[in-house]
A and B are shown apart, each in its own frame.
Chain A
Amino acid sequence: MEIMIETKNLTKHYKNKTVVSELDMKVTKGSIYGFLGSNGAGKSTTMKMLLGLIRPAQGQIQIFGKPLQGKMRLEILKNTGSLIESPSYYGHLSGRENLEIICTLKNAPKREIDEVLKLVRMENQQHKKAGQYSLGMKQRLGLAAALLGHPRLLLLDEPTNGLDPSGIQEMRELICALPKRTGMTVLVSSHLLSEIDQMATHVGIIDQGHLIFQDSLAVLHEHSQSKLHLRTTDTAAALAELQRNHIPAEEKEGTIILRDTSDRTVTCAIRHLVYAGIGILRAEEIQMSLEDIFLKLTGKKVSL
């Protein structure tokens, strides 16, 4: 699988504080890489380093297999679109005029403006001054600017920040459609777990500058250990019976919780309870939510 972004040992300090620490990131071609972390975790700093906007204290960055440094930087970034933090725009110019500036700098043909305006559904507002746009429209204009020149890689930093629910939904659909429609790779950061869950194919979780998880979304879901919740006619007796037979179990709010859900343990537990004359009212397998996984990995709550 072709690697589009690879960082090794990427570190950034601000004064005495380490904001990003020894980050090893790998983004594969055609993926939507969800870069997840709470506010201040180091997402924006990492993305700015990936664009060469700030210098890392140490470590290497390779984009499209080439080191991001010196004269190569702009050559690499020609094939990259970005939307970092708040959108960039010239308020005194119309949306179309804003795109004309980007088109000129990217040396992209002007006809692409119509293509990207259609893609972000802004054809009707293109002649309005960007300063009069809502935040959602400014974000879409930023995305349109990032899409000019058919980049192979798109870096989006919290693109749904400040959008209303319908705007979030629209932006999400747009991002999800990009790899299929254009074959581009997307790196999208967010502090919203549900957002990454709905968009990404791969996930990197950053916490206090450390990349604590990186793999496909499916693997992240595999981290979810299931538990068996049992409701019995006599909770205390049931717990004692299970412990007497060396089956690990705990009691919480009148429910017996079995952490080992292998077939052998479940069979064994139920057999012992039935033989002991304890009635089983309900048996329910509970999957760990993505939020629980995040909490387990970071020890912190995350927005949903």
Chain B
Amino acid sequence: MTGVIRQLQAERYKAKRRHSWAVVTALCLFLLLWSAFNFRNADSRELAQGYSTLFYQLPLFNTILLPLGLSVIASRLCDWEIKGNTLKLLCTLQRKGAFYDCKLLIGLGYLFVIALAETVSIAGIGILFRFTQTLEIHMLFLHFLQVFAAGTAIYLLQQTLSLLCENQLAPLGVGLAGSFIGLFSLYFPTQVSRLILWSYFCQFTPLAMDWDRASREISFYPTAFPLGLFLGFLAVIIGMYALGKFLFLRKEI
């Protein structure tokens, strides 16, 4: 077994009896039910733009739920190290940086499953409610990319906080506050909301909404994927990773 696999294996042992998957499952189920609930009385017009509705709504649900959900996952993965005072033992057995990376890999594994489940559920809901709109595969891919990229940034922040704080209430508080800040930032002009990390679950959706006041009907139209913004965001993620790891490495045990 190589060093990395051994370390990931150790993380798997640690997760025993902690039911981290229960958090992931609950989060996925809640998102699925919330999304599906909106189509319970859908008429033919709504079914004709069902996928667009989902691609537009799910990022909003993610903005509300994922910051808190990811803070809970990060906290669960890091809490047992803080509570059990294990860092001073682990850092004699593995590189401190490798420990940070392993935790990140495990956390991002959970995020990957959430993003994938959400993406698959879009197709599932479409089949279940017999959407008449054609499902565009590239939209599914972009949705997955958006959830995973924004989630990675949030998870990086939460993991770093969870490893640096002795008390897990503070990172959980940041997660909760992030949900509110992210949602409210969407009411501000784009230039302002783009300064808020938690708003990025909604920043890359290549769709815009038009609400007709007279007919009181909502319609969606496609927009270009903001590639420049996305690449800039990836650079921010790399910066956050470097900073988070640096802060953790600097922490004396």
Contact = CB atoms under 8 A, between A and B. Distances in A.
A52 B91 CA distance: 8
A82 interface: yes
A88 B82 CA distance: 10
B245 to A, nearest CB: 17
A106 interface: yes
B10 A105 contact: yes
Given A53-B253, A74-B95, A91-B83, A105 B6 contact: yes
B7 A89 contact: no
B200 to A, nearest CB: 34
Interface in B58-116: 80, 83-95
Contacts of A105: 6-7, 10, 90, 93-94
A100 B1 CA distance: 15
Contact of A77 (B16, B87, B93): B93
A293 interface: no
Given A89-B86, A90-B84, A91-B80, A104 B16 contact: no
A53 B18 contact: no
Interface in A25-68: 48, 51-55
A145 B89 contact: yes
B18 A88 contact: no
Contacts of B1: 107
Contacts of B252: 53-55
A221 interface: no
Contacts of A54: 252-253
A28 B54 CA distance: 70
Nearest to A80: B92
Given A93-B17, A105-B94, A88 B89 contact: yes
Contacts of A100: 13
A55 B1 CA distance: 30
Nearest to A146: B89
Contacts of A74: 93-95
B90 A86 contact: no
A53 B85 contact: no
B21 to A, nearest CB: 15
A90 B83 CA distance: 8
A89 B84 contact: yes
Interface residues of B, number: 26
A118 interface: no
A86 B87 CA distance: 12
Contacts of B44: none
Interface residues of A, number: 31
Most A CB atoms within 10 A — which of B80, B86, B94? B86
A107 B6 contact: yes
Given A53-B92, A100-B13, A92 B253 contact: no
Contacts of A102: 89, 93
Given A53-B252, A105-B6, A97 B13 contact: yes
A51 B93 CA distance: 10
A299 B93 CA distance: 39
A137 to B, nearest CB: 14
Pick the most buried of A85, A104, A145: most chain B CB atoms within 10 A of its CB. A104
Interface string A265-299: 00000000000000000000000000000000000
Interface string B1-39: 100001101100110111000000000000000000000
B13 A53 contact: no
A130 B14 CA distance: 13
B16 A93 contact: yes
Given A74-B95, A106-B93, A107-B6, A53 B88 contact: yes
A4 to B, nearest CB: 16
A145 B84 CA distance: 14
A77 B92 contact: yes
By Cβ-Cβ distance, the 7 closest A-B pairs, closest first, are A88-B89, A88-B86, A105-B93, A104-B10, A53-B253, A54-B252, A101-B13
17 contacts: A53-B252, A54-B252, A54-B253, A74-B95, A77-B93, A82-B89, A85-B85, A90-B84, A92-B18, A92-B80, A93-B13, A100-B13, A101-B14, A104-B13, A105-B94, A106-B93, A107-B1
Given A77-B93, A89-B84, A92-B17, 16 more contacts: A51-B92, A53-B88, A53-B91, A74-B95, A77-B92, A84-B88, A85-B88, A86-B85, A88-B84, A88-B86, A89-B86, A90-B84, A92-B16, A92-B80, A93-B14, A105-B94
